[in-house]
Amino acid sequence: MKAASTTSWEGREGRGADGPAGDGSWDGSWVDDVLLAGPGADICLVFDAPVTRADLRRLVLERQAGLAAAGLRAGGTAALCLAPSLALVTELLAGWRSGAQVALLDHRLTPYETGRALERLAAQVVVTAEPVGPGPARGYHDQHPVARPRPGGLPARTPHALVQLSSGSTGPAKIIGRTAADLVAEIGRYARIEGVPRAGERIVSMASMVHVLGLVGGLLHSLAAGVRLAFPARASAEGILAAVAAGPEPTTLLGVPFHIELLSWVARPPRLPQLTGMTTGGELVRARVHEAFTDRYGVRLGSMYGMTEVGVIATDLFGEHRPEVTPAPGIAVREVDGELLIATERSPYIGFDDPARWSDGWLHTRDGGSVDPGTGRVRVLGRLDSQVSVGGLKVDLTEVEHTLAELPDVSAAVVVFGSSVEAYAVLRADGSADAAGARGRVEAGLAERLAPYKRPRLLHVVDELPRTATGKLVRDLAVLRATAAPATAAPPPDRPPAG
């Protein structure tokens, strides 16, 4: 992709310096050239009010000064723990423009989870804001970030601009890094995919900006392509539709299957001539939900397949080949023993070397699938590991199970997914009174260690977990449910909502 033409604006001298190897790894000039260039009067973002490019440049410079005051320099490291907000956008761009390596952490993580992540990332500067309070779900928040130096933080040890944590499908979460060149290349792929919004159009995004679909498919693509990016004030069907109605430009919705279901429940949606379609990432949309959405709104519903490690992999933005998707420009996909592999020049993992995940230029997706030899289109059949989706958010059952099993009152545990996340646990307790106390401590431990959307909606306390002849725990849902007495199955207090 050709970078956006550079326009002169104040403060360009504040960009990061070149890395020690002279490879541009610490150079933040790409932020100016690709993301912030363009006429200053153009509106690029819409939260509670429109944000012009001139506004965004000014805010990025202000936040860059704030990060510098906290000790962030070119080649340094920062971690952002912010809810969806204008603050998240400006802190991210300011960190990159400083030439720093920026890690994104989901604001819904508990303090325990955030603390463990920061220990692994060793960020020098941490940016936080006030916790998001209770109330109706919002599409964005008004956050007031504070940047603080973190004792013991280390400078960047790799040339990556973006750092994210995987969901940890086979144990502890892996640290994933992407260079500025990786991100610019993915922006270029978006520019070449038919059906992606172009300059003069608009995206209304419900996808999280700390994950790849909302970050690159929403924020970075929109800034680079001159697309107006808007966020609904309320994360309800009515709030999303109101955001679409708020502007006349041709508009594409960006979200996950949960949002499609939410919108499909609207019996009589308002007339929205500006709505041209919706693009979804994540798991395959069920046929019934797909039909309900297209019938109600009369627009295309497209799908996008991607990974945190590489970004967008394949798309079907017009729904013409469902359930198959076409590889994005420049992406090579092959199937080996029922698993999809993606060609990548190097491993995306930091501090993790496992040939079962990357070897000889191929990334193992851990997704089952096939590649049509005639058309090259890909059919994704689902995860080969334990990742599931709850309300559009990825939950790793292994992480939940390990967290539950590590609690002092638990001697054995299995976590599975039926219509929701379910846990089966053997407690270390003597007598009913002790068992009640142990159960309460287990529920409190889960609430401390896991974000609400990850917690089991049903906790079954059993005397013994079924095992195979070789001693392995049985994970068949029907067998587990038959083992558990109905009276022992109860939702933990303050369980998260289904959505």
Q: For position 221, which CATH number holds?
A: 3.40.50.12780
Whole-number pLDDT of residue 1: 39
CA distance 254 to 259: 9
CB distance 127 to 85 below 8 Å: no
Q: Is the confidence at residue 398, as pLDDT, over 70?
A: yes
Is there a domain that residue 173 lies in? yes
Same domain membership, residue 470 and residue 366: no
Cα–Cα distances (Å) from 84 to 167, 445, 496, in that order, read: 19, 27, 19
Q: Can you tell me which residue has the tokens 């998001």? A: 132
The answer to whether the Cα torsion of 429, 432, 437, 439 is positive or negative is: positive
Give the residue from 409, 412, 402, 342 showing the smallest Cα distance to 371.
342
Q: Which of these three, 339, 358, 382, is where a domain ends?
A: 382
In a domain, 7, yes or no: no
Closest CA relative to residue 423, chosen from 392, 454, 451: 454
Give the C-alpha separation, 438 to 441, whole Å. Answer: 5
Same-domain status, 140 and 267: yes
Residue with the bigger pLDDT between 297 and 430: it is 297
Residue positions counted in the chain: 499
Confidence of residue 385 (pLDDT cuts 50, 70, 90): low
Task: Look at residues 342, 361, 382 and tell me which one is the last residue of a structural domain.
Answer: 382
Q: How far apart are CA 439 and CA 492, in angstroms?
A: 9
Question: Are 188 and 325 members of one domain?
Answer: yes
Among 364, 382, 400, the domain boundary falls at 382
- Most confident listed range (24-33, 188-197, 345-354, 472-481): 188-197
CB atoms inside a 10 Å sphere around CB 190: 24
Q: Specify the pLDDT at position 235.
A: 92
Residue 59 within a domain: yes
Checking if the pLDDT of 453 tops 70, the result is yes
428 and 369 together in one domain = no
Residues 375 and 399 in one domain: no
Task: Please enumerate in sequence order all residues whose Cβ is within 8 A of that of 286, keeping only pairs 6 or more positions apart, or say none.
Answer: 257
Residues 234 and 103 in one domain: yes
Contact 105, 215 (CB under 8 A): no
Average pLDDT, the chain: 88
Could you give the percent of the chain with pLDDT greater than 90? 69
pLDDT tens digits, one per residue of 117-145: 999 999 999 999 999 887 788 999 999 99
Least reliable range by pLDDT among 3-12, 112-121, 242-251, 360-369: 3-12
What number of other Cβ atoms are within 10 A of residue 382's Cβ? Answer: 11
**Residue 102 near residue 94, CB atoms below 8 Å:** no
Q: What's the pLDDT band for 431 if we cut at 50, 70, 90?
A: low
> Is residue 255 domain-shared with residue 280, that is, in the same domain?
yes
pTM of the entire predicted model: 0.81
Q: Quick one: three-class SS letters along the chain?
A: CCCCCCCCCCCHHHCCCCCCCCCCCCCCHHHHHHHHCCCCCCEEEECCCEEEHHHHHHHHHHHHHHHHHCCCCCCCEEEEECCCCHHHHHHHHHHHHCCCEEEECCCCCCHHHHHHHHHHHCCCEEEECCCCCCCCCECCCCCCCEEEECCCCCCCCCCCCEEEECCCCCCCCCEEEECHHHHHHHHHHHHHCCCCCCCCCEEEECCCCCCHHHHHHHHHHHHHHCCEEECCCECCHHHHHHHHHCCCCCEEEEECHHHHHHHHCCCCCCCCCCEEEEEEECCCCCHHHHHHHHHHHCCEEEEEEEECCCEEEEEECCCCCCCEEEECCCCCEEEECCEEEEECCCCCECCCCCCCCEECCEEEEEEEEEECCCCCCEEEEEECCCEEEECCEEEEHHHHHHHHHCCCCEEEEEEEECCCEEEEEEECCCCHHHHHHHHHHHHHHHHHHCCHHHCCCEEEECCCCCECCCCCECCCHHHHHHHCCHHHEECCCCCCCCC
Q: Is 200's pLDDT higher than 90?
A: yes
Statement: residue 422 has pLDDT above 80: yes
- Split into its structural domains, the chain has a count of 2
Contact, 312 vs 190, CB < 8 A?
yes
Quote the domain boundaries for residue 239. Answer: 12-382
